[in-house]
Chains A and B, each alone.
Chain A
């Protein structure tokens, strides 16, 4: 069962807390296709947890189950010691879960600043009237939230594009803006869907640095999907390996690296 008291200390001295989310025997089907087959694993507080696997292994589906976007046919998702019912996206956001997308999903016509401000939705409650005349609560809220957003802009070093429309940005920066928006929600659990896809070496290094800093600075728990094995092994505390919807490995990067099944999956051993 959930044991919140347990934890461990990583090699670099970070304290990892108890289990915050547990996936129990998850099975997800799309019609006849089984995307996820009986998978169980947990995510602990403050850790960077990676889900890896070859194309079509079911990684993104898994992330969507974690985020509550897909409801599995079988199995249970436990969050903070409670079984989680099917939820609407805004309910998920209120629980403290934020995510980025594999194919960037930003408001292209809006400025970086406005995009990041949308991440603060849960911190604003001024009504339509107050907003439209921008007096009293609306004004106060905007100032407060702008301050929080500016700190994130500073943190992710995107000051120079603060007022630039997102559509004019290169890919690497858009990814960073998406991360900024997710961070603006002050999530307890941050889900990153291939944060480094399509980036060059330097951009990958920057992004890795930011992910580590977010984890370190805000203590955010991070679950990420990534293709680039080198990056995953360097970043994560523990790794889940999936192949054809099944879990074939789970453990520290070193354990996973030496797991025969994982090696086979990546080197492409024939499946029966």
Chain B
């Protein structure tokens, strides 16, 4: 308890914890020896305590002064999750600059717009790849004054007149501290609660990305409220592996980490994330549904290959967990016998399984961004993993609604987070108001005004309703995606797509039908699941394209679509959204091609235009369609793939009012 008391924030005066540097100072002085950052490098977890991290960050800030960073400048950060990159964001704030993390996998062309828009003069790059991109952009955007990089590899040959290793400018900063200390302290003292803490670009399913300006108030209040809500302490360990440009990562890895003083662990490389997860065993964890789906798929695949005894044990105890696990976690009454059996299961199955997954110490965790399949959600909860859902936005500094312990369900996104007010307008769109509401969209007053009203209410663009009785929010779809079919019934694509995506075989689905008489769908197979299935069934294939077009795969997908149709038909409001015909696409929808956002949301309009020929074929009744699709490689070059796709018809459940439309 004593520990938590020290975290109470004073709301006024210079002694108040009103900026990241102030929080850093508190952490470094109050528990300087506690671990703050870990990164696996050269096969070993390297650790920095809060005191060490504070020294590193200060050196970096001094280095920034040395190269001439001015107050109000923007410093772009492009790289994977590494302590140095997190430090550079805090160091930027120390010198009065605004950190702007970018999506590191964005191609140069995509980056040009944001770079130009934010006018960053200083760029922190992770490695040579990012530096090359910036240099390419620099030919168009002449603003860049200095490039800094963390990984020295391959950088020797570059012109270093306006470029340095981050490490080197830190050394320069340290060396020149007598000269620069006073200036730095002055700049730190000048930071106010309402100064910009960070600027984050929203990925945007439509149009150009927008720069969301978040103040210290937004970040610190949100971090404080959410940390209180879940009783986060400085004993937590988190794994930081999600894109740094995403608001969630900023809140978890900086906001909450600095507020609570917990440890941020960075994986060795993006490919080692699963191994690193197991080694760290985070106590507080965040992942998009995709990660949980993938892990579950892997568990099921590996159980197929396990010995019969293990397999039987697994299925027996998982059945038991399904029955009582969730109830035990929610603190609901469960008979003594069932508890005893669950405890045995924990020793034999659940415990080892959780360890393998890296969830051995999991205390609380969230999934958000997309709907998660109820089976997947329940699987984790039944193991005793306290996985919950939240609903948030960049503009809200993440939190809009969260699920309190004991009220966790797959089909809602919880109750309003602390200090958040919610209302649903007459069109069904969700609005909210909270201390986390963003300051503005950078250099875009029109969009700011159309999103945030003078009283501070923000329109989410999502349609939803508050459930009677429980007060939980349920999301239907993006408000602008909800449409009408030709016969006037409701068209809510996400609802059907989610049902499809809950099958491990289906990675992505896109439903069309707005203003039409019936719905058709694009489907992406999940290569891991289908690939494994193909292997076990002796189905040979040479490429993704070949597997996606295999008759037996189409047959399997057909079955899934028909099951979904049955389930959709049961919903009187949405029974018109049954899938009449579908096609399994020959390529995965990819962010490099602009088909999905970097956070994996389908850009519906774009996909509709790009594959207009396939959609036409889906509606004109033809049973095959030949198409040429442009693809973008990782380095930004373009190519084309040709394919002939089979169009499949799916069985439709006849529902009385829609009988005419169905035939």
Residues of A near any B CB (own CB < 8 A): 12-14, 146-147, 150-151, 153-155, 157, 159-160, 162, 202, 205, 209, 212-213, 216-217
Quick one: which of B43, B154, B268 contacts A216, CB cutoff 8 A? Answer: B154
A selection of 24 A-B contacts at a CB cut-off of 8 Å is A12-B157, A13-B157, A146-B43, A147-B42, A150-B42, A151-B42, A153-B43, A154-B41, A154-B42, A155-B153, A159-B269, A159-B271, A160-B268, A160-B271, A160-B272, A162-B43, A202-B634, A209-B154, A212-B154, A213-B153, A216-B154, A216-B157, A217-B154, A217-B156
Q: Which residues of B contact A217 (CB under 8 A)?
A: 153-154, 156
Q: Which residues of B contact A212 (CB under 8 A)?
A: 154
Task: Report the bound CA distance from A155 to B633 in whole Å.
Answer: 23
In the complex, the chain B residue whose C-beta lies closest to that of A154 is B42
Q: Which residues of A contact B635 (CB under 8 A)?
A: 205
Taken residue by residue from 40 to 64, chain B's Cβ proximity to chain A (1 for < 8 Å, 0 otherwise) reads as 0111100000000000000000000
Q: Which residues of A contact B627 (CB under 8 A)?
A: none
Task: Report the bound CA distance from A154 to B154 in whole Å.
Answer: 13
How distant is A3 from chain B, measured CB to nearest CB, in Å? Answer: 26
Task: Determine whether the beta carbon of A150 is less than 8 Å from that of B43.
Answer: yes
Given A150-B43, A151-B42, A205-B635, are A157 and B269 also a contact pair (CB < 8 Å)?
Answer: yes
Q: Which residues of B contact A216 (CB under 8 A)?
A: 154, 156-157
**How many residues of B are counted as interface, with CB atoms below 8 angstroms from the partner's CB atoms?**
16
Interface centre among B42, B156, B157, B635 (most CB of A within 10 A): B42
- B275: CB under 8 A from chain A? yes
4 tightest CB-CB pairs across the interface, nearest first? A160-B271, A150-B42, A150-B43, A160-B272
Q: Which residues of B contact A213 (CB under 8 A)?
A: 153-154
Quick one: which of A159, A202, A209 contacts B272, CB cutoff 8 A? Answer: A159
Q: Which residues of A contact B42 (CB under 8 A)?
A: 147, 150-151, 153-154
How distant is B165 from chain A, measured CB to nearest CB, in Å? Answer: 14
Task: Determine whether the beta carbon of A159 is less than 8 Å from that of B268.
Answer: yes
Apart from the given pairs A13-B157, A153-B43, A160-B275, 19 other A-B contacts in the complex at a CB distance below 8 Å:
A14-B157, A150-B42, A150-B43, A150-B44, A151-B42, A154-B41, A159-B43, A159-B268, A159-B272, A160-B269, A160-B271, A162-B43, A202-B633, A205-B635, A212-B154, A213-B154, A217-B153, A217-B154, A217-B156
Q: Which residues of B contact A205 (CB under 8 A)?
A: 635
Taken residue by residue from 141 to 158, chain B's Cβ proximity to chain A (1 for < 8 Å, 0 otherwise) reads as 000000000000110110
Task: Report the bound CA distance from A150 to B46 in whole Å.
Answer: 14
How distant is A117 from chain B, measured CB to nearest CB, in Å? Answer: 12
Task: Report the bound CA distance from A150 to B635 in whole Å.
Answer: 28
Task: Report the bound CA distance from A213 to B157 in whole Å.
Answer: 11
How distant is A112 from chain B, measured CB to nearest CB, in Å? Answer: 12
Task: Report the bound CA distance from A159 to B39 in whole Å.
Answer: 13
Residues of B near any A CB (own CB < 8 A): 41-44, 153-154, 156-157, 268-269, 271-272, 275, 633-635
How distant is B512 from chain A, measured CB to nearest CB, in Å? Answer: 32
How distant is B135 from chain A, measured CB to nearest CB, in Å? Answer: 15
How distant is B640 from chain A, measured CB to nearest CB, in Å? Answer: 14
Q: How many A-B residue pairs have CB under 8 A?
A: 39
In the complex, the chain B residue whose C-beta lies closest to that of A150 is B42
Task: Report the bound CA distance from A153 to B635 in whole Å.
Answer: 23
Task: Report the bound CA distance from A146 to B42 in whole Å.
Answer: 9
In the complex, the chain B residue whose C-beta lies closest to that of A12 is B157
Q: Which residues of B contact A146 (CB under 8 A)?
A: 43
Q: Which residues of A contact B268 (CB under 8 A)?
A: 159-160
Q: Which residues of A contact B156 (CB under 8 A)?
A: 216-217
Q: Which residues of A contact B157 (CB under 8 A)?
A: 12-14, 216
Task: Report the bound CA distance from A212 to B43 in whole Å.
Answer: 24
Task: Report the bound CA distance from A237 to B385 in whole Å.
Answer: 58
Q: Which residues of A contact B275 (CB under 8 A)?
A: 160
In the complex, the chain A residue whose C-beta lies closest to that of B270 is A160
Task: Report the bound CA distance from A208 to B285 in whole Å.
Answer: 38
How distant is A130 from chain B, measured CB to nearest CB, in Å? Answer: 23
In the complex, the chain A residue whose C-beta lies closest to that of B271 is A160
In the complex, the chain B residue whose C-beta lies closest to that of A160 is B271
How distant is B45 from chain A, measured CB to nearest CB, in Å? Answer: 13
Task: Report the bound CA distance from A202 to B269 in whole Å.
Answer: 19
Q: Which residues of A contact B43 (CB under 8 A)?
A: 146, 150, 153, 159, 162
How distant is A252 from chain B, measured CB to nearest CB, in Å? Answer: 19
Q: Which residues of B contact A157 (CB under 8 A)?
A: 269
Task: Report the bound CA distance from A270 to B271 in whole Å.
Answer: 51
Q: Which residues of B contact A154 (CB under 8 A)?
A: 41-42
How distant is B438 from chain A, measured CB to nearest CB, in Å? Answer: 37
How distant is A242 from chain B, measured CB to nearest CB, in Å? Answer: 31
How distant is A212 from chain B, measured CB to nearest CB, in Å? Answer: 8
How distant is A9 from chain B, measured CB to nearest CB, in Å? Answer: 12
How distant is B241 from chain A, measured CB to nearest CB, in Å? Answer: 13
In the complex, the chain A residue whose C-beta lies closest to that of B159 is A13
In the complex, the chain A residue whose C-beta lies closest to that of B637 is A201
How distant is A257 from chain B, measured CB to nearest CB, in Å? Answer: 23
In the complex, the chain B residue whose C-beta lies closest to that of A153 is B43
Task: Report the bound CA distance from A205 to B275 in whole Å.
Answer: 27
How distant is A13 from chain B, measured CB to nearest CB, in Å? Answer: 6
How distant is B388 from chain A, measured CB to nearest CB, in Å? Answer: 30
In the complex, the chain A residue whose C-beta lies closest to that of B44 is A150
Interface centre among B43, B44, B634 (most CB of A within 10 A): B43
Task: Report the bound CA distance from A147 to B43 in whole Å.
Answer: 9
Task: Report the bound CA distance from A13 to B153 in whole Å.
Answer: 17
Task: Report the bound CA distance from A260 to B313 in whole Å.
Answer: 72
How distant is A180 from chain B, measured CB to nearest CB, in Å? Answer: 13
How distant is B152 from chain A, measured CB to nearest CB, in Å? Answer: 9
Q: Which residues of A contact B44 (CB under 8 A)?
A: 150
Task: Report the bound CA distance from A13 to B156 in whole Å.
Answer: 10
Q: Which residues of A contact B154 (CB under 8 A)?
A: 209, 212-213, 216-217
Task: Report the bound CA distance from A146 to B268 in whole Å.
Answer: 17
How distant is A85 from chain B, measured CB to nearest CB, in Å? Answer: 37
Task: Report the bound CA distance from A160 to B268 in whole Å.
Answer: 8
Interface centre among A147, A153, A159, A205 (most CB of B within 10 A): A159
Task: Report the bound CA distance from A222 to B269 in whole Å.
Answer: 28
In the complex, the chain A residue whose C-beta lies closest to that of B154 is A213
Q: Which residues of A contact B41 (CB under 8 A)?
A: 154
How distant is A72 from chain B, measured CB to nearest CB, in Å? Answer: 37
Task: Report the bound CA distance from A143 to B518 in whole Å.
Answer: 66
How distant is B84 from chain A, measured CB to nearest CB, in Å? Answer: 15
Task: Report the bound CA distance from A157 to B43 in whole Å.
Answer: 12
Q: Which residues of B contact A153 (CB under 8 A)?
A: 42-43
How distant is A146 from chain B, measured CB to nearest CB, in Å? Answer: 7
Task: Report the bound CA distance from A12 to B634 in whole Å.
Answer: 25
How distant is A69 from chain B, measured CB to nearest CB, in Å? Answer: 32
